[in-house]
Amino acid sequence: MRNIIWFRNDLRILDNPALTAALQDQNAEVCAVFVVAEKQMLIHDWGANKIGFVLSNVLTLQQELRTLNVSLDILSAEDFVNTKNVLLEYLLQQKTKKLFFNCEYEINEIVRDRALKELLNKHDITCHIYHSQTLIAPGIILTKQQSPYTIFTPFKRAIMDYIARNPLQMTIKPVAQAVNQNSTPKVNSHLDKKLYHYLDNPILKRWPAGSKHALKLLENFCAEKICAYAKARDFPCLSATSILSPYLAIGALSAKQCFLTAIKYNDGEFTNGNVGITCWLNELIWRDFYKNILYHFPRVAKGQNFNRKYDAIRWHIPGVEFAKWQTGNTGLPIIDAAMRQLVLTGWMHNRLRMVVAMYLTKNLFIDWRYGEKFFAQHLIDLDLAANNGGWQWSASTGTDAVPYFRIFNPVTQSMRFDPKGDFIKMYCPELKNLNNKIIHNPSAYLSAEELAKLGYPRLMIDLSKSRAQAISYFKNVLV
């Protein structure tokens, strides 16, 4: 008898309930499979950074699984429709009756899994499904009326209360299976040759693959930085954040691993104690919150506003200004530095994600969907729920969103969180010789000729006028 574990968004060995459950059956040989659906990834706007990171982690997982005497086959499918047929053929070839996997909560993935389960039932193959992506499985934390929370603060209180009554526990560590000399030969332990170009991406060198590296980052962050997180997290020039988001996004690290490691450094407390630690735990709960929104309101995964009253907004058509935003040539150094960081590294500091998103949607008044897609195509830590939640928050169309009349001033944000312009100088080196006052808004102090000599563009819009116009647009929709 053979058990098959289907790895998806859970590329790790530890705290992986599906893997542990498959290995607990001592009468069965366990094999693993991963299906690369490149076309589907591209349909979902995954860029080369995210695809390459996933594939590099799959190959690292393949090596790690050898310590458990588990082989990992890598299959290719065109899209999710084709995936179920590829898997069926593989499972029949392996002569298995059990498929183990952990849930995914996006609408297309839910539809795929439902169709696969129906197909496998016809062949007497049962699906054993587990939860591992969030602290608490979506759908459990509900209001007294048994409806989903749409405001973060009461959701946070509810999830904290739930954890207090039901302490989080790691999944039992999987035990290596005995080597089976009669094991079925591997189907395909290598990536399709056409996918290898994704691994040549130089950005991947910034993000070493594997759950072992992720766990090391987690321990180092908790030991050295987490206590100062609340005070330092908003300053992009500081190395003050965990940079664990890429590993959480693909499941090389679990949210429970993060939560339990953090409270270990807080004497087991998760509501009191060190402010930096509780602040970071708060971010993990935001992650659960957006996963719940995605699960309960799948329309947000289809490019729809969470708040339907803003469906009537007529955004500006993207043009030259959008192109300048994409390339980091807006004339606002903090915006340009952030956008260049994204393109050059595949990652952007969280404070700056809010600043550039609000600038695009409120000052340029360009549809948040264009920004969401551009981020998706470049972020190595792309997570649909978090990316959508963040963009709709900034655009004031989402759940628990910032009120439409609260609009970040990028110059003020720059002066507050990058006072000496250190971050700006990293990604806009043409401004490195400007003083601490001028560097935040060169167009206010330098002539067109002086800016041209620096090779830096003039400010392309008036911030005050564009802010007032955006507020007017929103008011008119609400009339």
Could you give the residue numbers annotated as active site?
A: 283, 286, 315, 350, 368, 391
Enter the tokens of residue 3.
């058990």
C-alpha dihedral over 25, 27, 31, 37, to 10 degrees? -60
* d(C-alpha 140, C-alpha 138), whole Å: 6
What residues are paired with 76 via a beta bridge? 36
- Categorise residue 277: left if φ over 0, alpha if ψ from -120 to 50, beta otherwise: alpha
Enter the tokens of residue 460.
């392309």
C-alpha dihedral over 143, 149, 153, 156, to 10 degrees? 70
* d(C-alpha 126, C-alpha 28), whole Å: 15
Q: What is the helix, strand, coil percentage profile of the chain, to 5?
A: 55, 5, 40
* d(C-alpha 165, C-alpha 158), whole Å: 11
443 sits in which H/E element: none
452 sits in which H/E element: helix 448-454
CA–CA–CA angle 178, 132, 218 (5° rounding) = 90
* d(C-alpha 421, C-alpha 413), whole Å: 11
* d(C-alpha 158, C-alpha 148), whole Å: 11
* d(C-alpha 85, C-alpha 106), whole Å: 20
Rg, C-alpha atoms of the chain: 24
29-37: strand order across its sheet: 72-77, 29-37, 2-7, 98-102, 126-130
Q: Which of 215, 307, 299, 208 is nearest to 264 (CA)?
A: 215
Q: Which residues contact 454 (CB under 8 A, 6 or more apart)?
A: 430, 431, 442, 446
What residues are paired with 31 via a beta bridge? 4
